């Protein structure tokens, strides 16, 4: 009994007041407590930003990289005091790279978790299924690397963190055709191939448009089921059509399958690639190595001198310091800076409007120009970028599968378009790039 009394006395008479006092001092309310005229100020509730993100499945390599970029922004903004005097907290669920999980995740975020704001996860196929839920709740929504997602919805509160410009579908392969048509003699025919899925269908539609504009005849135009694993029959069929150009619009596993099949079959059109997701990530680069030589592809940013916008290299250093222990893309060139910039835009809009109101935020984001680590961002119609800035790059001189050659991207990747960011010229035709690399 005596022991119990002593425990209660120590706990409630000695320890508890000290705990209260410490809390009060941390909250800046020491004076009120000391005078006995108030209670400790409760810490402000965080501003919650909800999203799904592919942390498993085929899109996980890029999804995990994107999430780390967002977490670095969260740490940075909280170190500066948060937003509106409140800390910021990301609420994230794994969509498993499966579009069917996405509507349920956003329903939970909005109806159960009651998050203040939502943003998208990574990639077109994950953004599109979130749109009806987001629209039904009237939320502002920034899409990360979504290709023409809003072309079907025309939702006024959507913004695209993808530099596609007004003609988004065509933007992905516009540089490919620009490079091709600068050759002498000009190529005459093209094959277009991609998965029967949201991203590929949009990219293929843009490729058809670019082919028509360039006056190039389409001699092969086919989609394949999204679960395809053997790409040799598809490559053989394209080879039989004997096109000068081949545009591939694919997601990561498909991209790797096409690259391998093209090399195994010795297929050598004059130019190939253009719309493949995957070869931009370090995991696929080190996996495929020299098999990538000669391929062209789109990209959105590289650490070339032409693209070192304020804050970009500082961000990359911090990202690369964290990446190895987390098992994510060790370089982070493709999506991580954009994920950080995605939240820079949202954070700047919150600060400028001093509001979490979705309509106010969407209106402001549609009107303002944002200075981010990936350059200036200005949105236009349908929330797409006012001006396109999609890169077309070529892989070359890759020797072996070592990572370091990709760290210095300029030694194995050349930016071909747009002119403002160009770092070199194309090795044409494709077979010349293969021969040059083999002869090193």
Domain ranges of the chain: 47-163+308-383, 168-299+396-438
CA angle 313, 282, 269 (to 5 degrees): 115
Q: With CA atoms as reference, report the closest residue to 192 among 213, 167, 217.
A: 217
Q: Which of 41-45, 175-179, 358-362 has the lowest mean pLDDT?
A: 41-45
- The tokens 């953004």 sit on which residue? 127
Proportion of the chain above pLDDT 70, given as a percent: 90
Report the half-sphere exposure of 264 (CA within 13 A, side-chain side).
14
User: At residue 166, does pLDDT exceed 50?
Assistant: yes
Question: Average pLDDT for residues 49-73, to the nearest whole number?
Answer: 97
Chain mean pLDDT for the chain: 91
Q: What angle do helix axes 60-79 and 336-353 make, rounded to 10 degrees?
A: 40
User: At residue 18, does pLDDT exceed 90?
Assistant: no
Q: Is the fold of 47-163+308-383 the same as that of 168-299+396-438?
A: yes
Alpha carbons 394 and 239: distance in angstroms, whole number: 21
- More confidently predicted of 216 and 40: 216
> What φ, ψ does residue 191 adopt, rounded to 5°?
-110, 140
Give the pLDDT of residue 29: 33
Q: Which of 3-17, 27-41, 295-309 has the lowest mean pLDDT?
A: 27-41
Give pLDDT tens digits for 297-354. Answer: 999 999 999 999 999 999 999 999 999 999 999 999 999 999 999 999 999 999 999 9
Tokens of 399: 């020797």
- The tokens 């098999």 sit on which residue? 291
Give pLDDT tens digits for 400-412. Answer: 999 999 998 899 9
Is the backbone of residue 244 left (phi > 0), alpha (psi -120 to 50) or beta? alpha
> Which residues have a Cβ under 8 Å from the Cβ of 235 and sit 6 or more positions away?
258, 261, 262, 265, 267
Give pLDDT tens digits for 224-282. Answer: 999 999 999 999 999 999 999 999 999 999 999 999 999 999 999 999 999 999 999 99
- Are 109 and 120 spatial neighbours (Cβ–Cβ below 8 Å)? no
User: At residue 187, does pLDDT exceed 90?
Assistant: yes
Residue 331: count other Cβ atoms within 10 Å of its Cβ. Answer: 23
Give the pLDDT of residue 219: 98
Give the pLDDT of residue 440: 64
- CA dist 196 to 204, 205, 221, 327, Å? 10, 12, 12, 31
Is cis: bond before 418, omega within 30 of 0? yes
- Topology given in CATH for the domain delimited by 47-163+308-383: Rossmann fold (3.40.50)
Alpha carbons 53 and 70: distance in angstroms, whole number: 11
pLDDT band of 437, cuts 50, 70, 90: confident
- Topology given in CATH for the domain delimited by 168-299+396-438: Rossmann fold (3.40.50)
Alpha carbons 192 and 204: distance in angstroms, whole number: 7
Give the pLDDT of residue 17: 37
């Amino acid at each position: 009994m005596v022991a119990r009394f002593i425990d209660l006395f120590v706990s409630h008479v000695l320890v508890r007041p000290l705990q209260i006092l410490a809390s009060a001092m941390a909250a800046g309310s020491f004076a009120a407590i000391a005078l006995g005229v108030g209670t400790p100020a409760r810490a402000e509730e965080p501003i919650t930003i909800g999203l799904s993100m592919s942390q498993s499945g085929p899109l996980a390599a890029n999804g995990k990289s994107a999430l780390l970029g967002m977490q670095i922004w969260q740490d940075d903004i909280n170190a500066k005091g948060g937003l509106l005097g409140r800390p910021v907290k990301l609420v994230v669920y794994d969509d498993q790279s499966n579009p069917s999980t996405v509507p349920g995740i956003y329903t939970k975020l909005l109806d159960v978790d009651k998050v203040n704001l939502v943003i998208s996860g990574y990639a077109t196929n994950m953004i599109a299924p979130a749109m009806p839920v987001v629209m039904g709740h009237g939320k502002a929504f920034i899409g990360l690397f979504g290709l023409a997602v809003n072309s079907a919805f025309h939702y006024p509160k959507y913004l695209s963190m993808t530099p596609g410009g007004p003609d988004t579908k065509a933007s992905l392969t516009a540089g490919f055709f620009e490079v091709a048509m600068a050759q002498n003699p000009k190529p005459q025919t093209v094959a277009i191939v991609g998965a029967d899925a949201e991203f590929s269908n949009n990219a293929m539609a843009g490729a058809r448009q670019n082919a028509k504009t360039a006056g190039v005849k389409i001699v092969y135009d086919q989609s394949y089921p999204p679960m395809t694993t053997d790409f040799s029959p598809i490559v053989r069929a394209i080879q039989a059509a004997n096109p000068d150009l081949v545009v591939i619009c694919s997601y990561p596993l498909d991209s790797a399958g096409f690259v391998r099949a093209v090399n195994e079959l010795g297929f050598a059109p004059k130019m190939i690639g253009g719309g493949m997701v995957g070869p931009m990530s370090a995991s696929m680069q080190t996996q495929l190595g020299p098999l990538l030589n000669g391929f062209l592809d789109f990209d959105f940013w590289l650490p070339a001198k032409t693209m070192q916008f304020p804050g970009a290299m500082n961000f990359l250093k911090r990202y690369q310091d964290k990446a190895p222990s987390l098992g994510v893309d060790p370089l982070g060139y493709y999506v991580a800076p954009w994920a950080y910039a995605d939240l820079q835009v949202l954070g700047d809009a919150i600060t400028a409007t001093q509001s979490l109101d979705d309509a106010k935020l969407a209106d402001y984001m549609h009107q303002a120009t944002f200075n981010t680590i990936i350059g200036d961002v200005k949105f236009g119609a349908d929330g797409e970028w006012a001006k396109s800035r999609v890169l077309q790059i070529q892989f070359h001189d890759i020797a072996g599968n070592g990572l370091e050659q990709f760290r210095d991207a300029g030694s194995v990747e050349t930016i071909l378009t747009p002119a403002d960011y160009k770092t070199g010229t194309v090795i044409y035709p494709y077979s010349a790039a293969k021969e040059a690399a083999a002869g090193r």
